[in-house]
Every structure is written in C-alpha cells, then in structure tokens.
Amino acid sequence: MPAQKFVDKHSLKILNMEPTGIPPNNSHQHLMNDDGDSVDTVVPPLTSNSTDPRSGAKRTNVESGITKRQILTVVVLCFVNLINYMDRYTIAGILTDIEDYFNLPDDKTGLLQTAFVVSYMIFAPLFGYLGDRHSRRAIMAAGVFLWSITTLLGSFMKDYHWFLLFRTLVGIGEASYSTIAPTIISDLFVQDIRSKMLALFYFAIPVGSGLGYIVGSETARMTGAWQNGLRVTPVLGMIAVVLILFVMTDPERGESEGKTHLSPTSWSRDVKLLLRNPSFMLSTAGFTCVSFVAGALAWWGPHFIYMGLKLQPGYENVTLSDVSYKFGVITMISGLIGVPAGSFLAQRLRVRYPRADAYICACGLICSAPILFAASLYANNNVYMCYTLIFIGELFLNLNWSIVADILLYVVTPTRRSTAEAFQILISHMFGDAGSPYLVGLISEALKRSLSVGTTVLVLTSAVSSTPEPSPEVQFHSLQYALFTTNFVEVLGGLFFLFTALYIVQDKENAERELAGQDNPGLPTHIYADDPALSQSVAELMS
C-alpha cells in the first residue's frame, strides 16, 4: 500500500490536540519512501548524558546538540588558523631587519609577501578540488607540515633569492589549509551556531596577525637575530599536525544539513555554477578589496609608523620592534572586538533584514576608509591619534571576516564549498593582498624619485651628476601617498557589497532549493506533528 501523501482535517485535529495525561511520542519515526528504499536514520532527541548512536560522541548541550568532538575540532581549526596568520605576518614584524640584512629596496621587500600570496592563490583551486573529493584531514595535515618545514628552512637562507623561494613554498602549504577548514565547520554546524563558530574561526585572523608582529619582533629583540623570529611557528605547526591527525574529526559533506549522501558534480560544472551566482561573485569582489587593504596595512603599517615617529622630536631612538609590538596589540584588540561584533550584528539583524549581512560588510569598508586616511595623516605628528584611528579603522574592517565566510556557505551547496573557498581565495589574493604590498612598494619607489628631483647634486670636482639617498621626509611621504590607494579600494569594496545585497536573498533560496532537490525530488510522504511547516496548513484547514 503506498504511503499516504496528505493529512486530512480530522488527522490535523488529532495532531493539534493538547496532551491529557498520555506522554507525547517523540520518536519521529519515518515512513518508507515511495521508491521502497530504506529511509534515512533518524536520531531521537538526546539528553545531556546520552550518546549519539552514529558517532558515539557525548552530547554536551541539549539545545544545540554540540558534541565534545565537534568542540575539539573547532578548537584545533582555530589553533591552526591562529599560527597560520602568525607565520604569515611574522616577517612584517622584522621587516626592517630583513631589509638591512639583504639590502633591499621597497619593491623587493614587498615582493616577499607577493611571492608568498601568488603561490598561495595558484594552488588554492587544486586543494579546493581535492577537498571536495578526498580526505580533508590528510590534505590539511600535509599542508601544515609543508609550510612549517619551509618556514624553518627559509630562516637559514643567506641569499635573498633562496629566501624568496622558501617564502613561495610556504604559500603552497597554507593554501591546503585555508581552502578546506571553513567547509569542515559548515559540515558540523548550521544557522546561528555555524555563524558563531565561523566568528571564532576568523577571530584568529587579526589575533594571529597581531601575534605575528609581536612574536617576530620580540623574539628577534631577545635573541639578537631576526632569523629566530621565524623559528617559533614551525614548532607550533608540528603540534598542529598531530592534533589534526588524532583529535580533529572530518564529517561527511553536508552532514549538518542532513544530506550526507550528496555526490559532487564535475569541476567544470562547479565553476560554471559559481560564476552564475551573483552573490558569491560580488561578495568575493568585495572581499578582494578587504584583502587588498588588509595585506597592504599588515605589511607596511609598522614600517610606515616607524618612519613617521623618526621624524618627530623625542622619538629618535625608537625601534621597529617597539612599533611592531604596539601595532600587533592594536591589531589583536581590534580583531577581538570587530570579528565577533560583525557576527553578532549579522545574527541579530538578518532575522528582520535578510540582506543585513551585505549591508554590514559595506558599512564596515566605507566607514573604515576615511578613518584610516586620517590615521596616515597623523603618523608624523601625533602618534597617539594615529594609533587610535588605526584601531577604529581596523575595527570596522574586521566586521567583514566571518560574515563573508557565512555568505559563501549559505549561497553555495555543500558539494562545491571547498571549490568556492578556493575560487574566492584565488580571486581575493590575485587582485588583493598578492599585489598590494608590492604595488604600494612600487608606487613608493616611483614617488621617491619624483619627490627627490630637486635634490640632485652636481659634484663639480668630477663633473658627474648623482642622485643622493632620499631624505627621511621623502621616504615617509612617498610611502604615505602610496598607502592612500587603500582608501579608494575600501570604498570600491563597499560598493560591491551594496550590489551583493540585491541578489543575496534569491541566491540563498536557490542554494536551499538545489539542496532539497538533490536530496529528495519527489513529493513528501508524511508530516510530523511538531513540524513548523504544519502550522499554516492547520490554520487553513481548521478555518
């Protein structure tokens, strides 16, 4: 006898009755599907001390159903993300020492970060493809091992080109982790819980960046060798490899949405569907602007403030390590407040305003632009005002991190999320922080020559014209003007997010529709008494 596909008025009356002493049946047992196949396993509600029959994990929270293994997985992912960004920005904390050691101009100094990010973005699509189809635990462990080893080996290089090569190899290892980690969180949690976990995960970006400045500069200062600043994160990286292999769990793709049987489509189809997703493409463009600004500020910020301080009376003996330490603290605190603030605002506002995520990101970028512009003007005359404005500007900038990740996860289906992450990394780094440190350095070098035109000295004794080393004032102002480009990019990013708001609701519905279609394209065979979708049907039939 075929399963019943409707609920009549009398059944609804019975389902809607108040309990009168008979305990409710919460077993939620499913009927057989139309095709006669076995039904999905349904897990009954668990108490705080009960065990999940599928995973064997103990429940730690009745409302959210979060297991201890899930919590440990998020902790491991956050730890690896923290040391990931520590490693990435340790060099920024010892930048002047590296410049002096290798005798580098600004453009070659910026190339160190650009080479790292170029390899990072080139290999991201490969790891995205592998992450949608193979063991994410194994890929991540191999990647973390690679960047830890190459960072350590690079610290022993005495030639600039070899040092540059090993920084390039570090990018390959980090690409394997960054493309995959957010998708594991998306397969463990849904809705507001996922938003909170993503906020915790991306919380590690500004905090890790700030620690990178501090660890790099302070280790170099205490040991007297900048190379030692690069030897801290490799040790932590090896610990991370062990945690990934033996503590972290790798859930089935789509597990949190109850779609564990989904199969991936071809890579070409994944890319085609992503290109046709306006919310994904526009939010990626906006995030690219965030990446451009964050990359330029993280790389040049301490160096720029240091040069500004050297021009002020009373700061002649200031050191780069001291500036890097303070800049790192500011970056960490702005991240500690900004990342969770963005997630909190999004969770509260999206209930009433479904386009709120895009509007918050746009507001963060547009508000940050004039504040960071003003901060650069105070760098050579009021350091306290400069630090304060940098903190506020970075606070607004940090509103974006977890929200952009959340947008990607709810407008893209589970089977192509790693590919989407990889594609977003490729675009955001190709046009963002891959080029911004080098571009700012290149503009700065060009401006040095332009601003130094009037300082050409004619050496009469040899009748040879020579161009002297640019003065400290020229070096400062050339870098200051070069950094102004980041303010224009922030405004552009805000516009991209405003355009994202036009499509985000429809694209989210499309993703949900596609997910439901893959799971069960037929009509429903039954309705649960506690199903929220039943309320409207009850009202219509009982009227």
Give the DSSP H or E segment for 534: helix 534-542
CA 472 – CA 470 distance, rounded (Å) = 7
pLDDT at 18 over 50: no
Buried-state track 170-208, b at ≥16 Cβ within 10 A, e below 16: bbbbbbbbbbbbbbbbbbbbeeebbbbbbbbbbbbbbbb
Q: Which residues contact 351 (CB under 8 A, 6 or more apart)?
A: none
pLDDT confidence of residue 529:
56
pLDDT at 485 over 80: yes
Best-predicted range by mean pLDDT among 241-245, 274-278, 371-375, 442-446?
371-375
Tens digits of residue pLDDT in 341-392: 998 999 899 889 999 999 999 999 999 999 999 999 999 999 999 999 999 9
Portion of the chain with pLDDT greater than 70, in percent: 78
pLDDT at 523 over 50: no
pLDDT at 31 over 80: no
Q: Domains plus CATH for the chain?
A: 68-256+264-511 (1.20.1250.20)
The mean per-residue pLDDT over the stretch 219-237 comes to: 90
Indicate the angle between helix axes 68-93 and 160-178, nearest 10 degrees.
160
The DSSP-derived string for 161-191 is HHHHHHHHHHHHHHHHHHTTHHHHHHHH--H
pLDDT at 538 over 80: no
Q: Which residues contact 223 (CB under 8 A, 6 or more apart)?
A: none
CA 113 – CA 437 distance, rounded (Å) = 7
pLDDT confidence of residue 23:
43
Window from 21-35, 130-144, 303-317, 449-463 with minimum mean pLDDT: 21-35
The three-class DSSP label of residue 59 is strand
pLDDT at 398 over 60: yes
Best-predicted range by mean pLDDT among 81-95, 279-293, 311-325, 326-340?
279-293
pLDDT at 528 over 70: no
Give the DSSP H or E segment for 480: helix 472-483
pLDDT mean across residues, the chain: 79
CA 123 – CA 434 distance, rounded (Å) = 13
Window from 7-11, 271-275, 309-313 with minimum mean pLDDT: 7-11
Tens digits of residue pLDDT in 117-164: 788 878 888 887 887 777 888 888 988 998 899 989 989 988 999 999
φ, ψ dihedrals at 2, nearest 5°:
-65, 150
Residue 44 pLDDT level (bands cut at 50, 70, 90): very low
Tens digits of residue pLDDT in 67-78: 888 889 999 999
- Nearest one of 218, 227, 199 to 405, comparing CA atoms: 199
Window from 23-27, 110-114, 312-316 with minimum mean pLDDT: 23-27
Residue 5 pLDDT level (bands cut at 50, 70, 90): very low
Name the one residue in this structure whose structure tokens are 């960071």. Answer: 372
CA 357 – CA 189 distance, rounded (Å) = 19
CA 77 – CA 203 distance, rounded (Å) = 11
The mean per-residue pLDDT over the stretch 232-241 comes to: 92
CA 89 – CA 94 distance, rounded (Å) = 9
Tokens linked to 158: 């005495």
Give the DSSP H or E segment for 457: strand 457-459
CA 458 – CA 424 distance, rounded (Å) = 53
pLDDT at 49 over 50: no
Tokens linked to 46: 């668990």
pLDDT confidence of residue 104:
84
- Nearest one of 324, 340, 485 to 398, comparing CA atoms: 340
On whether the CB atoms of residues 386 and 375 are closer than 8 A, the answer is yes
CA 185 – CA 189 distance, rounded (Å) = 6
CA triple 109-111-115, angle to 5 deg: 140
The three-class DSSP label of residue 67 is strand
Give the DSSP H or E segment for 391: helix 383-397
pLDDT at 61 over 80: no
CA 27 – CA 35 distance, rounded (Å) = 23
The mean per-residue pLDDT over the stretch 238-262 comes to: 75
Q: Which residues contact 143 (CB under 8 A, 6 or more apart)?
A: 127, 172, 173, 174, 175, 176, 177
pLDDT at 539 over 70: no
Q: Select the more confidently predicted residue: 205 or 306.
A: 306
Residue 543, classified by CB atoms within 10 Å of its CB into exposed (0-12), middle (13-18) or buried (19+), is: exposed
pLDDT confidence of residue 264:
65
pLDDT confidence of residue 256:
57
